[in-house]
Amino acid sequence: MVKKVAIIGAGISGLASIRSCLEEGLEPTCFEKGEDVGGLWKFSDHAEEGRASIYRSVFTNSSKEMTCFPDFPFPDDFPNFMHNSKLQEYITAFAKEKNLLRYIQLKTLVSSVNKCPDFSVTGQWDVITEKDGKKESAVFDAVMICSGHHVYPNLPKESFQGLQLFKGKCFHSWDYKEPGIFKGKRVLVIGLGNSGCDIASELSHTAEQVIVSSRSGSWVMSRVWHGGYPWDMMFITRFETFLSNNLPTVISDWWYVKQMNARFKHENYGLMPLNGTLRKEPVFNDELPARILCGTVTVKPNVKEFTETSAIFEDGTVFEAIDCVIFATGYSYAYPFLDDSIIKSRDNEVTLFKGIFPPSLEKPTMAVIGLVQSLGAVIPTTDLQSRWAVRVIKGTCTLPSVKDMMNDIDEKMGKKLKWFGKSNTIQTDYIVYMDELASFIGAKPNIPWLFLTDPKLALEVYFGPCSSYQFRLVGPGKWPGARNAILTQWDRTLKPTTTRIVGSPLKPCLFCSWFRPILISVLSIAAFLVLF
What is residue 249's predicted lDDT score, i.e. its pLDDT?
84
What is residue 502's predicted lDDT score, i.e. its pLDDT?
85
The least confident of 142-151, 270-279, 286-295, 334-343 is 270-279
Alpha-carbon distances, residue 229 vs 460, 495, 505 (angstroms): 16, 12, 12
Element housing 4 (H / E)? strand 4-8
441 vs 250, residue with greater confidence? 441
Q: Is the pLDDT of residue 276 over 90?
A: no
Q: Is the pLDDT of residue 423 over 60?
A: no
What is residue 513's predicted lDDT score, i.e. its pLDDT?
55
What is residue 179's predicted lDDT score, i.e. its pLDDT?
95
- pLDDT, one tens digit per residue, over 290-310 is 999 999 999 999 999 999 999
Q: Is the pLDDT of residue 527 over 70?
A: no
- pLDDT, one tens digit per residue, over 69-78 is 999 999 999 9
Strands 152-153 and 186-190: unpaired
Q: Is the pLDDT of residue 417 over 90?
A: no
- pLDDT, one tens digit per residue, over 141-166 is 999 999 988 888 988 888 899 999 99
C-alpha distance across the termini of the chain, in Å: 67
**Is pTM beyond 0.95 here?**
no
Confidence of residue 385 (pLDDT cuts 50, 70, 90): very high
322/185 Cα distance (integer angstroms): 8
Element housing 217 (H / E)? none
Q: Is the pLDDT of residue 421 over 80?
A: no
Q: Is the pLDDT of residue 279 over 80?
A: no
What is residue 524's predicted lDDT score, i.e. its pLDDT?
64
What residues are paired with 128 via a beta bridge?
112, 137
Confidence of residue 508 (pLDDT cuts 50, 70, 90): confident
Confidence of residue 277 (pLDDT cuts 50, 70, 90): confident
What is residue 120's predicted lDDT score, i.e. its pLDDT?
93
What is residue 375's predicted lDDT score, i.e. its pLDDT?
84
435/444 Cα distance (integer angstroms): 6
Q: What value does the mean pLDDT of the chain take?
A: 91
Q: Is the pLDDT of residue 525 over 80?
A: no
What is residue 517's predicted lDDT score, i.e. its pLDDT?
57
The least confident of 229-243, 282-296, 498-512 is 498-512
What is residue 515's predicted lDDT score, i.e. its pLDDT?
60
Asked if 321 and 211 count as a contact pair (C-beta separation under 8 A), the reply is: no
Neighbour count for residue 212 (Cβ, 10 Å): 27
What is residue 419's predicted lDDT score, i.e. its pLDDT?
65
pLDDT average, residue stretch 21-48: 95
Q: Is the pLDDT of residue 526 over 80?
A: no
What is residue 437's predicted lDDT score, i.e. its pLDDT?
97
Confidence of residue 16 (pLDDT cuts 50, 70, 90): very high
Percent of the chain with pLDDT over 70: 93
No. of helices (H) and no. of strands (E), the chain:
18, 20
252/446 Cα distance (integer angstroms): 26
Neighbour count for residue 517 (Cβ, 10 Å): 17
Q: Is the pLDDT of residue 339 over 60?
A: yes
Beta-carbon contacts of 467 under 8 Å, excluding residues fewer than 6 positions away, are 65, 66, 233, 380, 485, 486, 489
Phi, psi (rounded to 5 degrees) for 224? -95, 115
Q: Is the pLDDT of residue 185 over 80?
A: yes
User: What are the start-end ranges of the E strands in 225-309?
Assistant: 283-284, 297-300, 303-306
Beta-carbon contacts of 146 under 8 Å, excluding residues fewer than 6 positions away, are 7, 8, 9, 10, 11, 13, 14, 16, 17, 39, 369, 370, 382
Asked if 64 and 492 count as a contact pair (C-beta separation under 8 A), the reply is: yes
pLDDT average, residue stretch 413-424: 66
Amino acid at 14: G
Asked if 149 and 370 count as a contact pair (C-beta separation under 8 A), the reply is: yes
Q: Is the pLDDT of residue 422 over 90?
A: no
